Amino acid sequence: MNRDLPTGWTLVKLADVLHEPLANGRSLPARQDGFPVLRATALRPVTVDFTQTKGGDETAHNNPPVPAEPGDLLVSRVSGSRSLVGEGALVDVPPRATTFPDTMIRVRVQPSLVDPRYLAHLWNSPIVRRQIADRARQGGAALYRINHRDLAQILLPLPAPGEQARIVSLVEDHLAWIDATTTRTRRAVDQAGELVHAMSAQASLGRLSGTDRAAGSLPAAGTHDGALPALPVDWRWTRLETVAELTLGLAKNSRRQWDPADVEVPCLRVANVQRGRLALDNIQVIRVPAQRAQAARLRTGDVLLTGGGDRGQLGRGWIWEEQVPDCVHQNHLFRARITDRQLHPKLLAWHANGFGRQWCQRNATQVTGLASIGLGKIRLMPVPVAPASEQQRLVALVDAHLTTLRAASAAAERAVDVAHRLRSNLLLQAFTGQLSHAAHPFGHQESSL
């Protein structure tokens, strides 16, 4: 690293610029409205987020809690991820006295040698992050740790104090631009996602059909249906059980005696079924009799709906398209298999993700923090049915718009990835002396955002 440093820069160990020895924080027993203690989530890029605190009992030790002071760099000494262990954040001006837990290390440098803001940005740069990753050790419970001795040996490229201040000013100007652009891009991604859900929900209720509408109604069935939306006059409301066959999935039975004739098949969980998509990166397997596996096997066009978990997520779902051979589903998911092609699976899924989720919330039961809706209840969900020709037209229309929206969303996601690379590139240039007022650190990549 030293060969790459500009004239006037030096490479020093962290130990040589400390004002006080490195110090661990101290954990306090939890106490509501107690002395503020930082949470691990308080270590944001560059500065500490003092809204991320919990209450601690300051009387639990003989000595009073040590508050974090302006200019301190707080470093995470333990994490489940090698990329996060050793991350650091600068203490600006705490809104009130706040201490830090024993999962953090306090770094307090001599400000005449190192500008604390310079150190905070340098700490998040690839130059320091690579050194920490090389020194991190994996201990018990699959956690990565960094200790005082290893931190003290971290090498810091330091220019003169005046140059440090200039670099901090440039870095913060550029980071402000990156952060603002990233925020706008993420907002666009979120808005595109909401448009996808809003358009599909409107289509399922006939609100993209330019015809007269009639008030919605259904015979009472002992459910909390609420006011049913008006539908086009040639549409009708019905119950889900009249257009689809509903079944629960398979339950794992750890007490069942192992049988060599059983088969092992992939099995979808609630986490695999999201709102308007399937998340199939992590699919578990279940071992069951071959006959049960065959009976529970998912087919193309099956609509999967969640029946347990967080109350706000009940009823969400999407369509199975044979992405994984011989796949089944667990018993916290419902399988809705359309009968006699009465309803297009996409219209049912779109309806379930809009009106259906709200209906499930009203009709769910809550036990010990978890909500659920039973098979007998979800069969009674009100479902709008359009004429067959109108169903095909709506699905084609919405699919065309959703394809455009998803392409725009994917482009925005790629732009966010570019922003992360630009941030890393900026910090690398800044702390190897390559950042100047004249040259923009991103070059032609700026247009990518």
Fold entry, domain 225-385:
Adenine-n6-DNA-methyltransferase TaqI; Chain A, domain 2 (3.90.220)
Judge whether 2-158 and 225-385 match in fold.
yes
Q: Which two tokens stand for residue 37?
A: 């203690």
List per-residue pLDDT tens for the chain, 449 residues long: 555 688 889 999 999 999 999 999 988 899 988 999 999 999 998 899 999 999 999 887 778 888 999 999 999 999 888 888 999 999 998 899 999 999 999 999 999 999 999 999 999 999 999 999 999 998 776 789 999 999 999 999 999 999 999 999 999 999 999 989 888 888 888 888 888 888 888 999 999 877 789 999 999 999 999 999 999 999 999 999 999 999 999 987 655 666 788 899 999 999 999 999 999 999 999 988 999 999 999 999 999 999 888 887 888 999 999 999 999 999 899 999 999 999 999 999 999 999 999 999 999 988 777 888 999 999 999 999 999 999 999 999 999 988 888 888 888 888 888 988 999 999 999 999 887 654 454 444 444 44
Phi, then psi, of 52 in degrees rounded to 5: -95, 80
User: 395-404: long-range contacts (C-beta < 8 A, 24 or more apart)?
Assistant: 395/203, 395/344, 395/346, 395/347, 397/203, 397/208, 398/199, 398/200, 398/203, 398/208, 398/346, 398/350, 399/346, 401/199, 402/196, 402/199, 402/200
Q: Angle at which helices 388-430 and 116-123 pack, to 10 degrees?
A: 130
How confident is the model at residue 447, as a pLDDT? 43
How confident is the model at residue 240, as a pLDDT? 96
Q: Which two tokens stand for residue 377?
A: 């209840």
How confident is the model at residue 82, as a pLDDT? 86
Q: Per-residue pLDDT tens for 64-79?
A: 888 999 999 999 999 8
- State how far the Cα of 428 lies from the Cα of 440, in Å rounded to an integer: 14
Where along the chain do its domains lie? Answer: 2-158, 165-209+387-449, 225-385
How confident is the model at residue 441, as a pLDDT? 46
Are the C-beta atoms of residues 228 and 218 closer than 8 Å to each other? yes
Q: Which of 269, 296, 265, 264 is nearest to 280 (CA)?
A: 269
Phi, then psi, of 347 in degrees rounded to 5: -65, -35
Are the C-beta atoms of residues 435 and 426 closer than 8 Å to each other? yes
H or E segment and range at residue 285:
strand 284-288
Tell me the three state secondary structure of residue 135: helix
Which one is the CATH code of 2-158: 3.90.220.20, 3.40.50.12170, 3.40.50.800, 3.40.50.10330?
A: 3.90.220.20
